[in-house]
Amino acid sequence: MMKGGWFRVYTLGYLIFLYAPIVLLPIFAFNDAAVIAFPLAGFTTKWFTQLFDEPALRGALANSLIIAVSASVLSTTLGIFASRATTRYKFPFKGGIMGMIMLPLVLPEIILAVALLVVLLGIGVPLSLFTVILGHVLVCTPFSIAILSAAFQALDGSLEEAAYDLGETPISTFRLIILPLVMPGIISSLLITFTISLDEFIMAFFLAGTEATLPVYIFSQFRFPQAVPVIMALGTLLVLSSILLLSIAEYFRRRGIAKTGGKDTGGFL
Amino acid sequence: MTFSAEKSNMIEFKDVHKYYGDYHALRGITATIKAGEFFSLLGPSGCGKTTLLRTIAGFEGISSGAVMIDGKNMEGVPANKRPTNMVFQSYAIFPHLTVAENVGFGLRKDPRSAAEKAKAVTEALEMVGLKGFGNRAAHALSGGQRQRVALARALILKPKVLLLDEPLSALDKKMREQMQVELIKLQRQVGITFILVTHDQEEALVMSDRIAVMFEGEIAQLADPETLYRRPNSRKVADFIGTMNFLPAKILSEADGKVEIDAQGFGPITLNAEQVSGAASSTGASVGFRPETLTILFDGQTAPDRESMAVVEEVVYYGDMTYYDIKLDGSDQPIRLSMRNVFGRPVLDIGTRTRVAWAPGALVVFR
């Protein structure tokens, strides 16, 4: 075997482990049998038709979309403020404050979810889509800050000074110079937090009350064997839309870097 | 250089102090910059020259004192309301805009019609030698082109003062020298007061009408380039501007505008009182002189003034010039001497004994 041969085998094995289950999704989504097993029984699109006829699922999808849009907009807005503050200003306990904001990134989500549940019930907030949105903002904001502070960091501070120097106010400078230059980061943050919120399970499970989100609905459907192919069809659609969203996010991130003439120093993809 | 009988004061610093926490960045700056002058703030990094420039632009507040622009105290006037414009060290070209949009950026609130503004942008681009570049994307420009865009963007607003923060430091040597000449021409053409911050003494000498040399938050000397070069007021300034040789000296007597000194290698000499500068120091006096004020005498040449013997210790050949490190008889310290190379004249070897011509008038004594 040639040099690096074992490394190739390892890489191949790794990729198969990672992607084979995802590849199975569309295969069984179009398979004409209620049992998930080989050999395949034939081609059908009936699982997709069933999928769109299911009112509970449509409700869950609508819930998830409402939550994901709200959470991504809120967490990105908070992310803009925090990133601007942390890259531009010095203030006391900056490191500690930023660390606290970024903490949900590493805390077990179930701990956060249980803690939030206890607090919300304790102060008498009824569980609803709103409480899920709160939980998702908590989880999404650190991601938003990670993306946006890179975008703000890449901004040359003298661009702002140049705009003041040429007669602009701080507000018009933000609108004319800073916002357009960090816009790719904002779009990227919106898309990524949207994706995170859309498939988040634990927070939604604990905080949604009677309103199921899409992942919670999927989980509950696994109790019924006959529903599994429908879930496969749904999974296929979700994988496709996730790939699409992340690609768009990455496209904007790279374009932003090219536009400001910076160097690519990594990112999510 | 242009002289007119009464030029008004464009910038006045009145005992300006600036603290960053405990750090005393500007220590009582008092100076006046005239209208239409090409003025340089020269000094090593950390001397406060950029801070001082930024107090004019309004990017830095001051702790005490006053900064006046054209007779008006600028206290409380924000950067966007000051009659100054700045060319930044990084040029700060807006990367998401075209060249023309960059240059026209400051005209946003200008009441003129769009066509008139476009005309002004075209003229500004023409002035800096970027005719036809208007539609280019700003991020695709070279360093020299960015600098020109930054100049056009600032000058289109016809400011009273143009501030330049190390504008040439990012360019290569050839480009830098070319831009120096262009900046001088541009300044004469527009007649605006230019204030340049630089750490490059040569650049300051070439471009400025007057220079303020700064060390540690203070102006050490403020003078025209020739005075600064020929009569530096301290060893520190002398060291910073060009090359200067120093030899130990004793001041023997001072009377009637004359000073008698005994300098190592030169012996006892009488100088004019204005050749002596600096406050008394504990390290003892020294005599300073530039490398080009000493000349090696070849066979048959006679010194116009004084003459001493010396030994060549080191030879550095530069093509057009040769630098010799020599020791004067009676001195134990090598000094540098520069000679323009002339066709047919030999370059001396190390160890050669030679006659050297010098003139008392070219000496400066530092107490």
Q: Looking at CA atoms only, how far is residue B229 from chain A in angstroms?
A: 34
Residues of B in contact with A178 (CB under 8 A): none
> Residue B126 pLDDT more than 80?
yes
Question: Is there a contact between B294 and B307 (Cβ–Cβ < 8 Å)?
Answer: no
Chain mean pLDDT for chain A: 86
Amino acid occupying residue A202: I
| Rounded distance between C-alpha atoms, residue A115 and residue B14, angstroms | 61
What's the pLDDT at A92? 86
Q: Which of B81, B88, B83, B106 is nearest to B150 (CA)?
A: B88
Residues of A in contact with B157 (CB under 8 A): 166-167
**Looking at the domain assignment, is residue A4 inside a domain?**
no
Among the partner residues A164, A180, A261, nearest to B79 by beta-carbon distance: A164
Say if domain B243-367 classifies as CATH 2.40.50.140: yes
**Looking at the domain assignment, is residue A38 inside a domain?**
no
**Looking at the domain assignment, is residue A10 inside a domain?**
no
- Copy the structure tokens of residue A122: 């304790």
A269 — pLDDT class (breaks 50, 70, 90): very low
> Residue A233 pLDDT more than 90?
no
Q: Looking at CA atoms only, how far is residue B162 from chain A in angstroms?
A: 11
Among the partner residues A158, A168, A261, nearest to B92 by beta-carbon distance: A158
Question: Is there a contact between B7 and B180 (Cβ–Cβ < 8 Å)?
Answer: no
Amino acid occupying residue A221: Q
Parallel, antiparallel, or unpaired for β B364-366 and B276-277?
Answer: parallel
Q: Report CB contact under 8 Å: B106, A167.
A: yes
Domain at A67, CATH number = 1.10.3720.10
pLDDT digits (tens, 9 = 90+) for A190-210: 988 998 998 889 999 998 888
Among the partner residues B59, B84, B95, nearest to A161 by beta-carbon distance: B59
Q: Give the CA distances from residue A221 to residues A40, A94, A199, A227, in Å, rounded to whole numbers and listed in that order.
A: 22, 46, 15, 6
Chains A and B: how many Cβ contacts under 8 Å?
62
What's the pLDDT at B99? 94
B1 — pLDDT class (breaks 50, 70, 90): very low
Q: What is the mean pLDDT of residues A145-159?
A: 89
Q: What is the mean pLDDT of residues B132-142?
A: 88
pLDDT digits (tens, 9 = 90+) for B289-322: 999 999 999 888 888 889 999 999 999 999 899 9
* Chain B contact residues (CB < 8 Å to A): 57-59, 78-81, 84-86, 88-90, 92, 94-96, 105-106, 108-109, 139, 153-154, 157
Chain mean pLDDT for chain B: 91
- Between residues A256 and B290, which one has the greater pLDDT? B290
What's the pLDDT at A89? 84
Q: At what angle do helices A55-88 and A129-153 cross, to 10 degrees?
A: 40
Q: How many domains does chain A have?
A: 1
**Looking at the domain assignment, is residue A86 inside a domain?**
yes
Tell me, letter by letter, the H, E, C secondary structure of B182-215.
HHHHHHHHHCCEEEEEECCHHHHHHHCCEEEEEE
* Mutant choice from B80, B161, B166 vs A, greatest count of A C-beta within 10 A: B80
Domain of residue A72 covers 54-259
CA-CA-CA-CA dihedral for A40, A45, A46, A50, to nearest 10: 120
| Rounded distance between C-alpha atoms, residue A206 and residue A132, angstroms | 8
B280 — pLDDT class (breaks 50, 70, 90): low
What's the pLDDT at A251? 83
**Domain layout of chain B by residue ranges:** 9-230, 243-367
> Residue A125 pLDDT more than 90?
no
What's the pLDDT at B170? 82
Whether the predicted interface score ipTM is above 0.85: no
**CA-based nearest residue in chain A for residue B87:** A162
Q: Looking at CA atoms only, how far is residue B136 from chain A in angstroms?
A: 13
- Between residues B43 and A234, which one has the greater pLDDT? B43
What's the pLDDT at B110? 86
Question: What number does CATH give the domain B9-230?
Answer: 3.40.50.300
**Looking at the domain assignment, is residue A12 inside a domain?**
no
Q: Report CB contact under 8 Å: B79, A161.
A: yes
Helix segments in chain A, DSSP class H: 5-29, 46-53, 55-88, 94-102, 109-122, 129-153, 157-165, 170-173, 179-198, 202-207, 214-221, 228-259
What's the pLDDT at A104? 86
Query: In which element (H, E) is residue B320 found?
Result: none
What's the pLDDT at A266? 47
* Chain A contact residues (CB < 8 Å to B): 156, 158-159, 161-169, 177, 180-181, 259-261
Burial B99-123 (b: 16+ CB within 10 A, else e): bbbbbbbbbeeeeeeeeebeebbbe
| Rounded distance between C-alpha atoms, residue A16 and residue A29, angstroms | 20
**Looking at the domain assignment, is residue A19 inside a domain?**
no
Q: Looking at CA atoms only, how far is residue B94 from chain A in angstroms?
A: 7
**Looking at the domain assignment, is residue A68 inside a domain?**
yes
